Amino acid sequence: MRSRISEFDLVMPESLDSAVAMLASGEGWRPIAGGTDLMVLLNAGKLPYKKLLTLRKLDELRQISVTNNAVHIGGAATYSHIQRHPVLEAEFPLLCQAARSTGGIANQNQGTLGGNIANASPAADSAPPLLVYHAQIHLVSNSGTRKVPYTEFHLGYKQLAMRADELIQEIELPRPVTTWRSYGRKVGTRRAQAISKVSFAAAARVEGGNVLDIRLALGSVAPVPLRCTATERFLLQTPVTQAAIAHACQTLESEIRPIDDIRSTAVYRSAVAKNILAEFLGTLG
pLDDT tens-place string over residues 80-97: 999 999 999 999 999 999
pLDDT at 44 over 80: no
Q: 245 and 148 in one domain?
A: no
The whole-number average pLDDT for the span 231-260 is 96
Output b/e per residue, 37-54; b: 16+ Cβ within 10 A. bbeeebeeeebebeebbb
| Burial per residue of 162-187, b for 16 or more beta-carbon CB atoms within 10 angstroms, e otherwise | beebbbbbbbbbeeeeeebebbbbbb
Question: What tens digit of pLDDT does each residue of 113-170 get?
Answer: 999 999 999 999 999 999 999 999 999 999 999 999 999 999 999 999 999 999 999 9
Cα end-to-end distance, the chain, whole Å: 55
Q: In angstroms, rounded to a whole number, what is the distance separating the alpha carbons of residues 197 and 15?
A: 39
Residues 93 and 146 in one domain: yes
Out of 105-109, 169-173, 250-254, pick the least confident.
105-109
Q: Are 95 and 139 contained in the same domain?
A: yes
21 and 38 together in one domain: yes
Nearest residue to 81 (alpha-carbon basis) of 127, 13, 40, 33: 33
Residues 21 and 115 in one domain: no
Q: Are residues 110 and 186 located together in one domain of the fold?
A: no
Tell me, what CATH number does 233's domain have? 3.30.390.50
pLDDT band at 174 (very low <50, low <70, confident <90, very high): very high
Shared domain for 160 and 70, answered yes or no, is yes
Q: Between these two residues, 52 and 44, which has the higher pLDDT value?
A: 52
- For residue 80, the model assigns a pLDDT of 97
Where a domain ends, among 126, 154, 174? 174
> Cα(223)–Cα(285) distance, rounded to whole angstroms?
32
Which of helix, strand or coil describes residue 11? strand
Give 147-200 as a DSSP string: EEEGGGTEEETTEES--TT-EEEEEEEEPPSS--EEEEEEE-SSSSS---SEEE
What residue numbers bound the domain in which 157 lies? Answer: 59-174
**Confidence band, pLDDT 50/70/90 cuts, at residue 2:** low
Task: Answer whether residue 1 shows pLDDT above 60.
Answer: no
**Domain identity same for 68 and 149:** yes
Same domain? 273 vs 210: yes
In this structure, the answer to whether residues 63 and 170 fall within a common structural domain is yes
169 with 212, same domain?
no
Question: Measured at the alpha carbon of residue 133, what is the angle toward residues 127 and 138, in degrees to the nearest 5?
Answer: 75
Q: Is the dihedral of CA 99, 103, 105, 111 positive or negative?
A: negative
- Mean pLDDT to the nearest integer, 173-194: 87
Mean of all residue pLDDT scores within the chain: 93
Could you tell me the CATH number of the domain that includes residue 22?
Answer: 3.30.43
Average pLDDT (243-268) is: 96
CA distance 260 to 102: 22
What 63-71 contacts at long range (C-beta under 8 Å, 24+ apart), as own/partner pairs, is: 64/88, 68/175, 69/174, 69/175, 70/172, 70/173, 70/174, 70/175, 71/172, 71/173, 71/175
> Are 230 and 251 found together in one domain?
yes
Q: Which of 174, 209, 226 is the last residue of a domain?
A: 174
Task: Give the number of domains in the chain.
Answer: 3
